[in-house]
Structure 1
Amino acid sequence: MPIAKLNKIDLFYDIMGAENSETVLLISGLGSQMTSWSASFCQEFVDKGFRVIRFDNRDSGLSSFIEYDINNVTELIALLQQGKYPKNAYKLVDMANDVIALLDELKVEKVHVLGRSLGGVIAQIIASDFPERIESLTIIMSTSLNPALPRTKAEVMDLMLRPMPDFNEELNLYLNQRLEFVKAIAGSRFPINTEEEKENILKDLQRAPSANILGQICAMTLTPYDLSRLQKIKIPTLVLHGTEDPIFPLACGRDIANSISNAYFMEIEGMGHALPNDLNTMVIDAFMKNNLTKKTMQV
């Protein structure tokens, strides 16, 4: 199995495309496996001549899971309210360092980074702290962590953080709760195909039956908003955001784009907090156009 052993963290990854091609690196969101970037999305990049790397973040998929001295979100919140944090807690900068260590292990000098949701925040840190490693930055349905921005809809937050049943004992209930959440964040323009979504959930369960979102939630909480970090980013940047995102409302995407010099902001009507395959070509075409435009300007 392709597992990179990095600084006490193992990251599972896969690679598509020719070795001598420009490389696209995909960073997943909170609790998501690398399979959240669909095979068809990756293949479309490969068809355009790119090599694609996707991987499981720490605490998800087939990568390393960290041991904590808390068991649920309620305990995490109580601890943070006391000004404390769990044993072995980490920050998003540590997850960004994981990515750079992975690139070092794979001997990849520079990449185009695409990050979605939490992965978009990690991507911002990488682009700011390691500009020499990044060709371009694409941020999808993410946030700058600016505390003044609109919050996640309360009903969606409740669905996201509620305890999930044991899928080994109550698979149907587990599937129904997962589907309820997916429908709540999908947006009006791209309704989900229930049977297809069930199949994807089951495939992920077979691949890696659990994720520990506590560590990643804590990482976001322990990572302060830093406008100066965004202002340091000078590489070609594309920010894509749905008009109906209930987790990070549209203003979150606008704030990222407004904070990064010459970033291009593209809002997608009717898109929620999901990236359906119907949008693959639109996203990749926007990526290509943004990079071509910026390279032309630099000549």
Structure 2
Amino acid sequence: MPIAKLNKINLFYDIMGTENSETVVLISGLGSQMTSWSSSFCQELVDKGFRVIRFDNRDSGLSTFIASGSNSVEELIGLLQQGKYPKNSYKLVDMANDAISLLDELKIEKVHVLGRSLGGVVAQIIASDFPERIKSLTIIMSTSLNPTLPQTKAEVMELMLRPMPCFREKLNLYLDHKLEFVKAIAGSRFPIKLEEEKENILKDLERAPLANILGQICAMTLTPYDLNRLQKIKTPTLVVHGSEDSIFPLACGKDIANSISNACFMEIEGMGHSLPNELNTMVIDAFMKNNVTHCPPSI
């Protein structure tokens, strides 16, 4: 299995495309496996002439899981409110360093970085702290962490954080819970395909049934908003955001674009907090345009 052993963290990854091509690194969101970047999205990038690397973040998929110092979201919030850090806690900068260490291990100097949701924040940190490693930056359905921005809809947050049934004992109920959340975050223009989504959930369960979202939630909570970090980013930047994102509302994407010099902002009408395959070509074309012409505002 392709596992990189990095500073006490093992990252599972895969590579598509030829070695002499420009490399694209895909960073996944909260609790998501690398498979959140669909094979069709990756293959289209390869068909455009890129080499594609996707990997499981720490605490997800087949990468290292870190023993958490809290057992529930409520316990985690209680500790943070007391000014205490849970045992073995980390920040998003550590996840950014994981990605850079993976590139070091693979002996890759410069890459295009695409990050979605929490992975979009990690991508911002990489572009700010390691500018010499980045050719371009694409941030999809993410946030700057600015505390003044609109928050996740309460009903969606409740669905995201509620305890899940045991899939080994109550698979159908588990699937119902997962699908209810997926429906809640999908935009009106791109409704989910129920059977396809079920198949994806089951494949992820077979691949890696567990995820430690508490570690990644803590990492996000312990990472402060830093406008200066965003303003340091000079690489060509594209920000893609849906008009109906219920986790990070549209203002979150606009704030990222407004904070990064010469960033291009692309709003997709009717898109929620997901990247359906119908949008693959649109997003990849915008990514490529960003690399060639610094993505003029006309897109």
Question: Normalising to structure 2: TM-score of the pair?
Answer: 0.98
RMSD: 0.9
Aligned to 1:129: 129
Aligned to 1:168: 168
Aligned to 2:268: 268
Structure 2 matches for 1:104-143, cutoff 5 A? 104-143=104-143
> 3-state DSSP class of the match of 1:99?
helix
Instruction: Give 1:78 shift.
Output: 1.0
Instruction: Give 1:295 shift.
Output: 9.6
Instruction: Give 1:71 shift.
Output: 1.1
Aligned to 1:283: 283
> 2: CA distance between counterparts of 1:40 and 1:215?
29
> 3-state DSSP class of the match of 2:294?
helix
> 2: CA distance between counterparts of 1:152 and 1:12?
30
Aligned to 2:15: 15
Aligned to 1:31: 31
Identity score, percent: 85
Instruction: Indicate conservation of the 8 Å contact 2:143/2:248, yes or no.
Output: yes
Aligned to 1:64: 64
Instruction: Give 1:153 shift.
Output: 0.2
> 2: CA distance between counterparts of 1:231 and 1:222?
20
Aligned to 1:42: 42
> 2: CA distance between counterparts of 1:182 and 1:295?
31
**CA deviation digits over 1:134-161, x for unaligned, max 9?**
0000000000000000000000000000
One-letter amino acid of the counterpart of residue 90, structure 1:
Y
> 3-state DSSP class of the match of 1:87?
coil
Instruction: Indicate conservation of the 8 Å contact 2:264/2:295, yes or no.
Output: no
Instruction: Indicate conservation of the 8 Å contact 2:286/2:295, yes or no.
Output: no
Do residues 55 (structure 1) and 55 (structure 2) align?
yes
> 3-state DSSP class of the match of 1:200?
helix
> 2: CA distance between counterparts of 1:81 and 1:161?
18
Structure 2 matches for 1:66-215, cutoff 5 A? 66-215=66-215
Moved over 4 A (4+): none
> 2: CA distance between counterparts of 1:107 and 1:220?
28
**CA deviation digits over 1:253-276, x for unaligned, max 9?**
000000000000000000000000
Aligned to 1:232: 232
List gaps (5 residues or longer) in structure 2. Answer: none
One-letter amino acid of the counterpart of residue 233, structure 1:
I
Instruction: Give 1:72 shift.
Output: 1.1
Matched residue count: 296
One-letter amino acid of the counterpart of residue 117, structure 2:
S
One-letter amino acid of the counterpart of residue 174, structure 2:
Y
